[in-house]
A and B are shown apart, each in its own frame.
Chain A
Amino acid sequence: MINAAWIALFSPAAAVVLIALLGMRIRRFTAGLIAAGATLVSFVCSVIVFVTLLGEHPEERTHYSTLWTWLSAGSFKVGAQILVDPLSVFMMLVVSGVGFLILAYAVGYMHGDEQERRYHAYKALFVFSMLLLVQSGNLLLLLAGWGMVGLSSYLLINFWHFRATAVAAGKKAFIMNAFGDATFVLALFLLIQRTGSVDFRVVFKDGVLPHGGTIAVLVALGLLGGAVAKSAQVPLQTWLPDAMEGPTPVSALIHAATMVTAGVYLIARTNVLFELAPVIQHLAGVLGAITILLAGLIALVQTDIKRVIAYSTMSQIGYMFVGVGLGAYGAGLFHLMTHAFFKALLFMAAGIVIHALSDEQDIRRMGGLARALPRTYQAFIVGALALAAIPPFAGFFSKDAVLASAANAGTLGWILWGAGAVGAFLTALYTFRLLFIVFWGEMTPFAREHLHVRRFEGGLAMAWPVAVLAVLSTIGGFLQVPGAWAGVTDWIDPVAQSIEEASGTTFAFSLIVTLALSVTGILLAWRFWGRLSPVPERTRRRYPWAARTLEQKFYFDQAYDLVFYESSSRAGVLLTQYVEEPVFLRSLRDLGLGVRFAAGRLSTVQSGSVRAYALALGAGAAVIVLVFLLVS
Chain B
Amino acid sequence: MTTALILVPIGGALWVWITPWRTARGPGGLALLVALAELALWVGTTANFDFSSSRPGGLQFDTKVVWFKDLGVSYNVGLQDFTLWLVGLTVLATAAAVGYGFWVGRDRPAAYLGLLLFLEGAVVGVFTAHDLLLFYVFWEAMLIPLYVLIGVWGGPGRLGATVKFVVYTMAGSLLMLVAIIAAGLSAGSFAFADVGGHQSVWIFLGFTAAFAVKAPLWPFHGWLPDAYRESTPEVAGLLSGVVSKAAAYGFLAIALPLYPGALDDWRVPILVLASIGLVYGSLLAFRAPDVRGVIAYSSLAQMNLIVIGLFATNASGNDGALLQMVNHGLISLALFLLAGAVERRTATGQLALLGGMARGRPVLATLLITTGVIALAVPGSTAFAGEFLILNGIFTVGWGWAVVGAVAIVLAAMYILRLVSAVLHLDVGSAVPEAALDLRPAEIGVIVPLVAVLLFLSFWPAAITDHTRFFGG
Contact = CB atoms under 8 A, between A and B. Distances in A.
Interface of A: 20, 23, 68-77, 118, 129, 132, 140, 143-148, 150-151, 154-155, 158, 161-162, 164, 167, 170-171, 174-175, 178-179, 181-183, 185-186, 188-190, 192-193, 568-569, 571-573, 575-576, 579-580, 583-585, 587-589, 592
20 contacts: A20-B366, A69-B466, A71-B461, A71-B465, A74-B315, A145-B379, A147-B379, A148-B378, A151-B373, A151-B378, A154-B417, A162-B425, A170-B417, A175-B413, A185-B388, A190-B399, A568-B414, A584-B219, A588-B168, A589-B164
Nearest to B402: A189
Contacts of B356: 162
B470 A74 contact: yes
Contacts of A145: 379-380
Given A158-B425, A161-B426, A175-B417, A68 B460 contact: yes
Contacts of A175: 410, 413-414, 417
Contacts of B391: 185, 189
Nearest to B279: A571
Contacts, number: 169
Nearest to B318: A73
B272 interface: no
A576 B175 CA distance: 29
A167 B355 CA distance: 12
Chief secondary structure at chain A's binding surface? helix
B316 A584 contact: no
A175 B384 CA distance: 15
Given A140-B388, A144-B384, A182-B409, A568 B283 contact: yes
Chief secondary structure at chain B's binding surface? helix
Most buried by A among B219, B223, B427, B465: B465
Contacts of B221: 584
B248 interface: no
A99 B362 CA distance: 26
Contacts of A20: 366
Contacts of B222: 584-585, 587-588
Contacts of B427: 162, 164
Nearest to A218: B399
A395 to B, nearest CB: 33
A145 B163 CA distance: 47
Given A73-B389, A186-B406, 20 more contacts: A70-B462, A71-B389, A73-B392, A76-B392, A77-B462, A143-B380, A162-B427, A175-B413, A178-B410, A182-B409, A185-B391, A186-B399, A189-B395, A189-B402, A190-B395, A193-B396, A572-B284, A575-B284, A584-B221, A592-B163
Given A145-B380, A174-B413, A192-B392, A161 B286 contact: no
Contact of A161 (B226, B358, B407): B358
A267 B183 CA distance: 56
Given A20-B366, A161-B425, A175-B417, A71 B399 contact: no
Contacts of A158: 421, 425
B379 A146 contact: yes
B66 interface: no
Contact of A189 (B392, B418, B426): B392
B369 to A, nearest CB: 8
A150 B409 CA distance: 14
A629 B64 CA distance: 54
Most buried by B among A77, A132, A174, A572: A572
A72 B285 CA distance: 31
Nearest to B168: A588
A589 B160 contact: yes
B461 A70 contact: yes
B424 interface: yes
B286 A568 contact: yes
Contacts of B378: 147-148, 150-151
B114 interface: no
A572 B315 contact: no
Given A148-B379, A158-B425, A71 B409 contact: no
A113 to B, nearest CB: 13
B315 A178 contact: no
Nearest to B220: A584
A572 B388 contact: no
B406 A185 contact: yes
Given A73-B316, A164-B426, A572-B284, A182 B410 contact: yes
Interface string B258-280: 00000000000000000000001
Nearest to B320: A73
Given A158-B425, A171-B417, A186 B411 contact: no
B473 interface: yes
A75 B465 CA distance: 11
Contacts of B209: none
Contacts of A161: 358, 421, 424-426
A266 to B, nearest CB: 13
B287 interface: yes
B366 to A, nearest CB: 7
B43 interface: no
Contacts of B389: 71, 73
B286 A183 contact: no
B287 A573 contact: yes
A623 to B, nearest CB: 30
Interface string B136-176: 00000000000000000000000010011001100000000
A162 B221 CA distance: 37
B311 to A, nearest CB: 16
Contacts of B466: 69, 72
B178 interface: no
A175 B417 CA distance: 9
Nearest to A570: B287
A336 B373 CA distance: 30
B72 interface: no
Interface string B349-367: 0000000101100100010
Interface string B281-315: 00111111000000000000000000000000011
Contact of B384 (A147, A154, A155, A167): A147
Interface string B320-338: 1000000000000000000
A167 B420 CA distance: 10
A144 B380 contact: yes
Interface in B446-473: 460-462, 465-466, 470-471, 473
B81 interface: no
Contact of B473 (A23, A74, A151, A155): A74
B319 interface: yes
Contacts of A576: 284, 287-288
Given A175-B410, A572-B284, A189 B460 contact: no
B471 A167 contact: no
A158 B466 CA distance: 37
A576 B384 CA distance: 28
Given A162-B356, A182-B410, A73 B284 contact: no
A174 to B, nearest CB: 6
Most buried by A among B168, B392, B460: B392
Given A118-B362, A150-B378, A162-B425, A568 B411 contact: yes
B147 to A, nearest CB: 16
A170 B425 CA distance: 11
A585 B225 contact: yes
Interface string B381-416: 000110011011101100100110011011101100
A148 B396 CA distance: 27
Contact of B395 (A129, A144, A150, A193): A193
Contacts of A174: 413, 417
Nearest to A114: B359
A572 B392 CA distance: 27
Given A23-B362, A588-B167, A186 B403 contact: yes
A252 B177 CA distance: 64
B286 A569 contact: yes
A627 to B, nearest CB: 28
Contacts of A584: 219, 221-222, 225
